[in-house]
Amino acid sequence: MARSRSLKPGRPAYQQIADELRASIRSGELGDGDRLPSETELIETFGVARMTVRAALQVLQHEGLAVAEHGRGVFVRHRRPFRRRSVQRLSRAQWGSGRAMWEADTAEDRTVSATIEVTRERAADDIADRLRVPPGTDVVVRRRLHSVDGQPLQLSAAHLPAEIAVGTPIAEPDTGPGGTYARLEELGYPLEGFVEEVQARMPSPDEARLLALPTGVPVITIVRVAHTSDRPVEVNEIVVNSDLYVLEYQIRP
């Protein structure tokens, strides 16, 4: 970054400095993992106070574009988005052949891992409403934290009526080849389709902690309902890191 850059009147200096650094990141001049100019370098470049420079760097950190490493400086945050291919992953050709849905999304050079917890609970009112069962009905809940290349990426909580899931592999951490949807079909619940609702919001403190989210990064929520020809059989509440997740849908006229 050139020295002795002049700032324009009328806009706070820290915002103008943040604008220039942001532009350098988005243009690729500063790539993933590159160190941003130091506080001293920015002070010399723009002729401002240290607190102004720190405020500019904090803007980029709050936007999720940069991370501070104690004693080393501020660096461009590594961002390699993960592409969720919704049509392929939910197709019968995927899970019906014994493959995990994540295999439709994952490039060969990326590693997916998950921690899984299975519990039996009473359905919250919104879950019961989507499953079309009375409030408080017992459900089996499969909670997962998915990571890609060691980066936490997605939280999910799949709710299935206990009358369907208890005593089957669906109530076990490892459901077997093809996962929950393959087991549902084996149990006599052939799936006819899925409905997904997608929204964006700020994360809860627990979500921010589990997904290792920088300050200011929102999440995308996906509520998916899987249904047979006559009833819903699963409600899956999914929360993903919006900064590292691309939702891909194929729409054919």
**Domains of the chain by residue range:** 13-76, 82-248
What mean pLDDT comes out for the span 148-176?
A: 93
* Greatest mean pLDDT among 5-14, 85-94, 143-152, 185-194: 185-194
Task: Report the run of H or E that residue 44 belongs to, with start and end.
Answer: helix 39-46
CATH number of 82-248: 3.40.1410.10
Determine the Cα–Cα distance for residues 103 and 94; give it in Å rounded to an integer: 8
pLDDT digits (tens, 9 = 90+) for 167-216: 999 999 999 988 999 999 999 999 999 999 999 999 999 999 999 887 77
What is the rounded radius of gyration, in angstroms, for the C-alpha atoms of the chain?
23
pLDDT digits (tens, 9 = 90+) for 25-77: 888 898 888 899 999 999 999 999 999 999 999 999 888 788 888 888 898 87
| Residue 144 pLDDT level (bands cut at 50, 70, 90) | very high
Same fold, 13-76 and 82-248: no
- Between the alpha carbon of residue 205 and those of residues 27, 208, 216, 245, the distances in Å are 32, 5, 12, 20
**What is the percent of the chain where pLDDT is above 70?**
86
Q: How many residues does the chain have?
A: 253
pLDDT at 222 over 80: yes
pLDDT at 103 over 70: no
CATH fold of 13-76: Arc Repressor Mutant, subunit A (1.10.10)
Determine the Cα–Cα distance for residues 158 and 172; give it in Å rounded to an integer: 13
Question: Cα 31 to the chain's mean position, in Å?
Answer: 22
Determine the Cα–Cα distance for residues 241 and 133; give it in Å rounded to an integer: 31
| Residue 97 pLDDT level (bands cut at 50, 70, 90) | low
- Between the alpha carbon of residue 243 and those of residues 54, 81, 135, 148, 151, the distances in Å are 23, 7, 35, 14, 12
Q: What is the DSSP string of 188-208?
A: T----EEEEEEEEEPPPHHHH
Q: Which of 62-71, 104-113, 119-128 shows the lowest per-residue confidence on average (mean pLDDT)?
A: 104-113
Long-range contacts of 194-198 (CB under 8 A, 24+ apart): 194/90, 194/224, 194/225, 194/226, 194/227, 195/224, 195/225, 195/227, 196/86, 196/222, 196/223, 196/224, 196/225, 197/222, 197/223, 198/222, 198/247
The pTM (predicted TM-score) of the whole model is 0.72
Determine the Cα–Cα distance for residues 92 and 193; give it in Å rounded to an integer: 10
Among residues 82, 122, 130, the alpha carbon closest in space to that of 105 is found at 82
CA angle 135, 154, 31 (to 5 degrees): 155
